[in-house]
Amino acid sequence: MKRLLIISGLLFYSLILNAQKDFEKENITILTDSELIIAGKTNVNKFDCKFDIDLINHERIIKYIEDDGFINFHNLQLNLLTKGFDCGHKRMNSDFQDLLMCEKYPEIVIELDRIEFVSREFVKAFITVHLAGMTNSYNLPVQISNDRFSGKFEMNIRDFGLEPPTKALGLIEVDEEIEVQFNLKISR
């Protein structure tokens, strides 16, 4: 029995090593002329909170494997510091950070799980978002042009256990739907 466990363990280890060899590797950098914005609105006006791209523009190695019209990624994620968003006003920045509970959850993590080819200019991206201790998955169209990836998707903050804040004794109410807009340029 012990010998059978050792042999099956070696076989499992061999399968893992072979699976790792199937992944292609590529070095990429998100360039500083990229944009990542969280846009929202209240019953009074709209707001945009722009992320400081300098916080994520370091070189990274991505691992992927092509499989029947899909590209599956291994551990490709963006770690966004919640304090890296600028909403254009110090008080709005503070309110935004409070909403995201940045003291308890200092990062938003967006994982790119896989993409499906739709056409030469579009893919469907399957992502996982980790925010305020909760996780939700989305799929969204992404336009591709000259190493530039752009698109947007909507999220309901209640899906992450967050309550839309109110200000001015309830006269100003933040909408629970927010839009994440991205226009990322990469170099390889």
Pick the CATH number of 25-187 from 3.30.930.10, 3.40.50.1980, 2.40.128.110, 3.40.50.2300: 2.40.128.110
Q: Token pair 């200092």 is at which residue?
A: 106
Q: Could you read off the pLDDT of 43-75 as tens digits, one per residue?
A: 888 999 999 999 999 899 999 998 888 999 998
Distance of CA 9 to the CA centre of its chain: 35
State how far the alpha carbon of 181 is from the alpha carbons of 3, 46, 132, in Å. 55, 14, 19
Q: Could you read off the pLDDT of 1-26 as tens digits, one per residue?
A: 444 434 444 444 444 444 444 678 88
Q: What is the pLDDT of residue 14?
A: 43
Q: Where are the domains of the chain?
A: 25-187
